[in-house]
Copies of this chain bind each other. A is one copy, B any other.
Amino acid sequence: MLSRTHQCGQLTKANVGDEVVLNGWVSVRRDLGGVVFIDLRDRSGIVQIVFNPEFSTDAHAVADKARTEYVMAVSGKVVERDPETVNANLKTGEIEVRITAAEILNAAKTPPFFIEDGIEVDESVRLKYRYLDLRRPEMQRTLILRSKAAKLFRDFLDDNGFVEIETPILTKSTPEGARDYLVPSRVHPGEFFALPQSPQIFKQLLMVAGMERYYQIARCFRDEDLRADRQPEFTQVDIETSFLSQDELLDMMEQLVVRLMKETAGAEIERPFQRITYADAMGKYGSDKPDLRFGLELVDVTDLVETSGVKVFADVAKKGGQVKALNAKGCATWSRKEIDDLLPFAARYGAKGLAWIQVKDGEWKGPIVKFFSEQEIASLKERLGAEEGDLLLFSADSKKVVADVLGNLRLKIGRDLGLIDDSKFKFAWVVDFPLLGYDEEAKRWVAEHHPFTRPKEEDVHYFDTDPGQIRAQAYDLVLNGYEVGGGSMRIYKREVQEKMFAALGFSKEEANDKFGFLLEAFDYGTPPHGGIAFGFDRLVMLITGRTNLRETIAFPKTASATDLLTDAPGEVSDKQLEDLSIRLALKAPAAK
């Protein structure tokens, strides 16, 4: 076999005159009057190679047999193309290679789809033939960028004294949270390992172990019902530090993200990132992961409408709900139908109705206008900054429903009106998450993050009076409306941990049952610590402008958690089950 000297996509005018050996796949083959032109493709790109019997009859005979996706080794001389045949769309378009020796390394059947960017093929076909799908340049670029992003994370963390430590994949089922994947133990019949949902416990133990700065690009597993942006196994950049404050950690992570975005997306991200409290994010954007590339903020008008004649507004206000509005600038021109079409969208998020006012021809128009006093209209006008041409949309309901409805309407209208600059990467930290949420069904407080999340010092006294008021030292990193990271400072003082367990209603025994060895570890000199985990798949998705996580993963699973390429999961032998001391317990199919 000829030994490669250059990569296809590398050749430029600077190589003219060079004798080169190339390896690659036949992307396109054309025969023009007895001269064969092949676009030869390797990972680096494409170059045109020319087989003319005048250069070599042997090589020409080989080219004659070559077909699409055949693998070839060729050698020849780089020459400048005639000016009229220069291909400006190709990096190598100013040159071609005159082939004097060629070998077919392997033949290929005709692929089920074209090996090129932007194909329109059912995703299930692409997944079944993933090894061909990954040959397409856009998939190769994505995987190469993913590799580069991982390298950038590692280089930065290494430069900052972090130690990469692997934690177990075969570990123990955790008492709370999402469903675990289980692994039966052969050596210990009746017992099971669990695949980790995250290395959370181990990373905290590593802080107890004095490792001070830990990271790992870790595989995590959740046996949950899947959505477009979930995978049963996913990758997170898992980080934990000792002796840093929240501000010090977030500052360091910002530097990391800025470097990452510059090197992968060529984007200059300004520091410090905006920090927005959870309360403000929910209030202004109806979301704890707001898309901050545009305004269109939610405005609370509850106080202005609680005595108004709009009965639903007044009722909601009296019952402790909220009335909030969006001012869709310039949308007063929308037809009645266009406005009405918003309702089914809003209903998806729980809206029972959607009130609106058009500011048009110097007047306020719409079904509810007549129920407002002049004074009410004046104050709404002022608070909403309502001007000629605006469309005001109102939602009145519980705080949660109003946030969901207007938060999602805001995104839809922002997109429809072209307010969102897709070339922009807008990062922000959402901070001060509530520590506890009240579970109405179980009638008890539950941890919003996890039971080791550290409360803000100034809120600790609320444990005794008003646990719902306690803000956590917890933070999410949001990018363009997606959560791309999140973490918290952890509790390290025994007395705070006891208050937390008391608030969650755990007796000492229950706490020990659930978290035994971790609590024991905390007794041996636990440093102040905290950390963060970045959703690596999602980050790569956003950097590469994709909208589907599967595009960023070499061998992903479908929404029903199957691998169409290997056909996993699959049946196993009775012997295998017997070895594991389990048997199947299949339910009879349910009657339809």
Q: Which residues of A contact B (CB under 8 A)?
A: 1, 3-4, 23, 25, 41-43, 69-71, 73, 105-109, 111, 129-135, 140, 143-144, 146-147, 150-151, 154, 158, 163-173, 179-195, 201-202, 205-206, 208-213, 219, 221, 223, 232-233, 235, 242-243, 245, 248, 492-494, 517, 521, 523-528, 553-555, 557, 560-563, 565-572, 576-587
Residues of B within 8 A of A106 (CB): 492-493, 525-528
With A151-B154, A211-B143, A245-B3 as contacts: A525 and B172 at CB distance below 8 Å: no
* Central interface residue in A111, A130, A167, by most chain B CB within 10 Å: A130
Task: Tell whether, in the assembled complex, residue A527 and residue B566 are in contact, meaning their CB atoms are under 8 Å apart.
Answer: no
With A147-B165, A170-B233, A210-B25 as contacts: A587 and B130 at CB distance below 8 Å: no
Task: Tell whether, in the assembled complex, residue B108 and residue A554 are in contact, meaning their CB atoms are under 8 Å apart.
Answer: no
Expressed in whole angstroms, the minimum distance between the Cβ of A583 and any Cβ of chain B is 4
Task: Tell whether, in the assembled complex, residue A144 and residue B172 are in contact, meaning their CB atoms are under 8 Å apart.
Answer: no
Q: A554 to B131, alpha carbons, bound, how many Å?
A: 35
Q: A53 to B34, alpha carbons, bound, how many Å?
A: 98
Task: Tell whether, in the assembled complex, residue A235 and residue B166 are in contact, meaning their CB atoms are under 8 Å apart.
Answer: yes
Residues of B within 8 A of A168 (CB): 233, 555, 557, 563, 568
Task: Tell whether, in the assembled complex, residue A42 and residue B569 are in contact, meaning their CB atoms are under 8 Å apart.
Answer: no
Q: A560 to B181, alpha carbons, bound, how many Å?
A: 22
Task: Tell whether, in the assembled complex, residue A131 and residue B585 are in contact, meaning their CB atoms are under 8 Å apart.
Answer: no
With A106-B493, A170-B181, A205-B130 as contacts: A163 and B192 at CB distance below 8 Å: no
How many copies of this chain sit in the oligomeric assembly?
2
Which 7 A-B pairs give the minimum distances between C-beta atoms?
A: A108-B525, A134-B209, A172-B568, A191-B569, A69-B525, A185-B569, A131-B208
Residues of B within 8 A of A173 (CB): 570, 572, 576
Q: List 8 A-B contacts (CB under 8 A).
A: A25-B525, A41-B210, A43-B211, A71-B527, A109-B524, A171-B568, A188-B561, A189-B584
Chain B residue at smallest Cβ distance from A523: B109
With A71-B527, A189-B586 as contacts: A209 and B23 at CB distance below 8 Å: no
Residues of B within 8 A of A43 (CB): 210-213
Task: Tell whether, in the assembled complex, residue A1 and residue B71 are in contact, meaning their CB atoms are under 8 Å apart.
Answer: no
Residues of B within 8 A of A190 (CB): 571, 584, 586
Task: Tell whether, in the assembled complex, residue A105 and residue B1 are in contact, meaning their CB atoms are under 8 Å apart.
Answer: no
Expressed in whole angstroms, the minimum distance between the Cβ of A412 and any Cβ of chain B is 32
Task: Tell whether, in the assembled complex, residue A183 and residue B183 are in contact, meaning their CB atoms are under 8 Å apart.
Answer: yes
Residues of B within 8 A of A69 (CB): 524-525
Expressed in whole angstroms, the minimum distance between the Cβ of A406 and any Cβ of chain B is 35
Given A130-B205, A173-B576; 4 other pairs, CB 8 A cutoff: A172-B566, A182-B572, A188-B569, A189-B587
Expressed in whole angstroms, the minimum distance between the Cβ of A226 and any Cβ of chain B is 8
Residues of B within 8 A of A187 (CB): 560-562
Residues of B within 8 A of A211 (CB): 43, 134, 140, 143
Q: A577 to B184, alpha carbons, bound, how many Å?
A: 10
Q: A560 to B191, alpha carbons, bound, how many Å?
A: 13
Residues of B within 8 A of A188 (CB): 560-562, 569
* Central interface residue in A192, A492, A580, by most chain B CB within 10 Å: A192
